């Protein structure tokens, strides 16, 4: 049994007792947003950026943000779970009754903070499967934020698992490169680094931003098709859990990439240094539980 502590609407209780009502729209329709924040040496990494994306997702879904001191609640969660490594998952869903898909008043919400134990990063380069499931476009849903619904991603990951791969590559609704199911996509060609733009429906990833803004490489957003990726010298994925994850091959086409490419090594080194700097700069604050 999970022995961790969860905070549900401000109440701290054992995780197995934190139950959501079936009548809530989070359970019925996945009507909500979430953030999963890596905890390293007691510090939630890139905390401010995660909160900004959470708030952007709430605004996009027209869910009023609850009046919560998120920092205080996160500190208390870390204290109660005696955790210095792992993840905090903040989720907020619309709790109002429904008339079919139509939310009814009052526009209240259910929120929770969960503690998730750390998972070891993969020891091998990523094996990527091309999925036939597509990423929805931003005109379909506000997919640049972390929406609680993601059945297409789940099905793509199941296909990847059955095909002996670690992740699945999802194209956009227009058939262009978008992202992996739970990570952003980058590729390197002739010394230049590229990533799909947000208009393809990829997530506005926190690690993606760090790579684009602070890696020392001039990363260019580019709309591209699968042929462009197959011509790349190297490919890597990014998210808050794996950081920078080089891709070894793309299945079923059998395309192989240089997972030891020097630009990937450089980006990984800079990213880790920035992460360590962020942790060092914020350790004292997060250790202070007052």
**Same domain (yes/no): 68, 178:** no
Domain count, the chain: 2
User: Of 28-32, 49-53, 255-259, which range is least confident?
Assistant: 28-32
Q: Is residue 280 part of a domain?
A: no
Question: d(Cα 66, Cα 37) in Å, to the nearest integer?
Answer: 19
**Same domain (yes/no): 112, 158:** no
Q: Is residue 226 part of a domain?
A: yes
Q: Which of 75, 96, 116 is the last residue of a domain?
A: 116
**Same domain (yes/no): 95, 168:** no
CA distances 187 to 67, 168, 240, Å, are 41, 15, 18
Q: Is residue 290 part of a domain?
A: no
CATH number at residue 86: 3.30.470.10
Domain range for 9 is: 5-116
**Same domain (yes/no): 165, 262:** yes
CATH number at residue 252: 3.20.10.10
Q: How many residues does the chain have?
A: 290
Q: Are 138 and 173 in contact (CB under 8 A)?
A: no
Q: Are 261 and 234 in contact (CB under 8 A)?
A: yes
Q: Are 266 and 144 in contact (CB under 8 A)?
A: no
Place of tokens 């849903």: 141
Mean pLDDT of 211-220: 88
pLDDT tens, residue by residue, 230-245:
999 999 999 999 999 9
| Beta pairing, strands 109-116 & 126-135 | unpaired
Q: Is residue 289 part of a domain?
A: no
pLDDT in the model for residue 102: 87
**Same domain (yes/no): 155, 216:** yes
Q: Are 242 and 205 in contact (CB under 8 A)?
A: no
pLDDT tens, residue by residue, 88-133:
999 999 987 788 888 887 678 999 999 999 887 777 999 999 999 9
pLDDT in the model for residue 22: 82
1: number of Cβ within 10 Å: 6
Q: φ and ψ at 33, to 5 degrees?
A: -135, 165
User: Of 23-32, 51-60, 135-144, which range is least confident?
Assistant: 23-32
**Same domain (yes/no): 246, 152:** yes
């Amino acid at each position: 049994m999970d022995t961790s502590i969860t905070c549900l609407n401000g109440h701290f209780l054992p995780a197995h007792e934190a139950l959501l009502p079936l009548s809530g729209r989070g359970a019925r329709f996945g009507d909500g947003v979430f953030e999963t924040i890596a905890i390293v040496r007691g510090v939630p990494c890139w905390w401010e950026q995660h909160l900004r994306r959470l708030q952007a997702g709430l605004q996009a879904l027209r869910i009023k943000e609850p009046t919560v001191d998120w920092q205080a609640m996160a500190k208390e969660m870390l204290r109660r779970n005696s955790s210095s490594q792992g993840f905090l998952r903040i989720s907020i869903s619309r709790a109002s009754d429904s008339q079919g898909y139509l939310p009814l008043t009052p526009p209240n919400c259910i929120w929770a903070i969960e503690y998730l134990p750390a998972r070891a990063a993969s020891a091998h380069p990523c094996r990527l499967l091309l999925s036939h499931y597509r990423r929805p476009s931003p005109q379909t849903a506000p997919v640049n934020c972390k929406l609680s619904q993601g059945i297409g991603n789940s099905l793509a990951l199941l296909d990847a698992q059955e095909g002996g791969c670690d992740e699945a590559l999802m194209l956009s609704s227009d058939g262009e490169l978008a992202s992996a199911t739970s990570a952003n996509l980058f590729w390197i060609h002739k010394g230049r680094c590229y990533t799909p733009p947000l208009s393809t429906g990829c997530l506005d990833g926190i690690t993606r931003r760090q790579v684009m803004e602070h890696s020392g490489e001039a990363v260019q957003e580019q709309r591209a098709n699968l042929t462009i990726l197959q011509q790349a010298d190297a490919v890597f994925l990014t998210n808050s859990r794996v950081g920078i994850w080089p891709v070894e091959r793309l299945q079923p086409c059998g395309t192989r990439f240089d997972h030891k490419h020097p630009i990937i090594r450089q980006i990984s080194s800079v990213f880790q240094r920035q992460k360590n700097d962020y942790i060092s700069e914020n350790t004292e604050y997060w250790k202070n539980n007052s």
